[in-house]
Amino acid sequence: MAAASAGRGIRRPRHPQAGVSAGRGIRRPGYPQAGVSAGRGIRRPGYPPAGVSAGRGIRRPGYPPAGAYPVDDLVQAGPPGDLLPGLALPVPLMLVLELLGVPQQDSPQLCAWTDTAFSMTRHSQEEIKAARGHLEEYVAGMIGERRERPGDDLLGALVAERDEGGRLTEKELIGFAFLLLTAGYLSTVNAISSGILTLLLHSAELDRLRARPELVPTAVEELPRYNPSAISGALPRVALEDVDLGGVTVRAGEAVVPAIGSANHDASVFHAPERVDVAREANSHLAFGYGVHRCLGAQMARMELQVAVATLLRRLPTIRLAVPEHELRWKDHPVSRGLLSLPVTW
């Protein structure tokens, strides 16, 4: 992170400062374009739709309700079990489909395509391309349907913004819906499973949390700080003009890829950064990005993480890893890091 800590338009000590994501002259390339991010530029009468509060980000007040995690199947099937389908996946997936007004019964197919589309080496380039194509077609179909039957959901609002407000191009609309549908649950599933793994590997902190469940809100900041699921590639920025960054001149047109994992362990920002501290205060981590493209779903994801961790404490008080750490298998994606499974016992 040192390279991003100084230079014109880049300030310290509050972490991070302008320049990391939107420093003078630095912009994120590609999609979504400026002004596209809902809640930061898109407004229309009647928006947000019922249940979706657009304020600064995506939120569902009071949702998911505590205990909403369908962990019952996992508990009833008895140990050992896989915490990924048992706890991490169901609610983020259900919520994002509901947010977009997508039929829940399409979720197995959507998950299979997303899993392939966001892989690197587990599938061939042809398979990855085909999966992305299917997802894009699916999203285009959803948009077409919403045009025929306008819906009271986030997708309906985005379609109206394109058709009535004219502030989105068709490409931006499809890209944004694609991003919400895929990254909207994938990142959260990764964050929940990686976060729980961090707790299982730091049992003293898990014990501390069991003894003081009121620390869950600070814990769900600390877990993505310590082990972020979005690592780096999500955040490339391109300099629009020459910019000094930590004594290095980034020339106009050159790209900068911040390393979130490294920034989150910056000893000049975090006290004892290599320690997991579920009570850590003033935790200005970068797990949700920074600046104008900062994660729109951060509040929703925080809520989901809180419910997942609280459910774990309540329903699986004696949980532990069922395999040695080195046997855990990770997805091979450099942007959104996550476990393929999380075998546990209790």
Interface positions with ligand HEM (CB under 6 A): 21, 28, 32, 37, 58, 96, 179-180, 183-184, 187-188, 191, 224, 229-230, 234-235, 287-289, 293, 295-297, 300-301
Whether omega for the bond prior to residue 48 falls within 30 degrees of 0, making it cis, is yes
How many Å apart are CA 264 and CA 268, to the nearest integer?
10
Nearest by Cα to 153 from 103, 114, 88? 103
Answer yes or no: are the C-beta atoms of 111 and 331 closer than 8 Å.
no
Q: Which is nearer to ligand HEM, 42 or 74 (CB)?
A: 42
Q: Which is nearer to ligand HEM, 84 or 287 (CB)?
A: 287
Closest contact distance (angstroms) between CB of 28 and ligand HEM is: 5
Q: Which is nearer to ligand HEM, 183 or 316 (CB)?
A: 183
Kind and range of the H or E run holding 181: helix 170-201
What tokens were used for 184? 């909207």
Closest contact distance (angstroms) between CB of 36 and ligand HEM is: 7
Cα angle at 89 between 183 and 86, to 5 degrees? Answer: 170
Q: Which is nearer to ligand HEM, 89 or 301 (CB)?
A: 301
Give me the amino acid identity at 39. Answer: G
Closest contact distance (angstroms) between CB of 165 and ligand HEM is: 17
By beta carbon distance, the residue nearest ligand HEM is 297
Closest contact distance (angstroms) between CB of 267 and ligand HEM is: 22
Q: Which is nearer to ligand HEM, 196 or 230 (CB)?
A: 230
Q: Which is nearer to ligand HEM, 298 or 313 (CB)?
A: 298
Nearest by Cα to 302 from 58, 83, 51, 115? 58
Closest contact distance (angstroms) between CB of 210 and ligand HEM is: 22
Q: Which is nearer to ligand HEM, 71 or 296 (CB)?
A: 296
Q: Which is nearer to ligand HEM, 78 or 257 (CB)?
A: 257
Report the largest interatomic distance among the alpha carbons of the chain, rounded to a whole angstrom: 60
Closest contact distance (angstroms) between CB of 41 and ligand HEM is: 9
How many Å apart are CA 89 and CA 111, to the nearest integer?
10
Closest contact distance (angstroms) between CB of 126 and ligand HEM is: 27
Strand, coil or helix: what is 177?
Answer: helix
Closest contact distance (angstroms) between CB of 127 and ligand HEM is: 25
How many Å apart are CA 11 and CA 57, to the nearest integer?
25
Please report the beta strands in the chain, taking only residues with DSSP state E, as ranges in sequence order. Answer: 26-27, 81-82, 237-239, 243-245, 248-250, 255-256, 320-321, 343-345
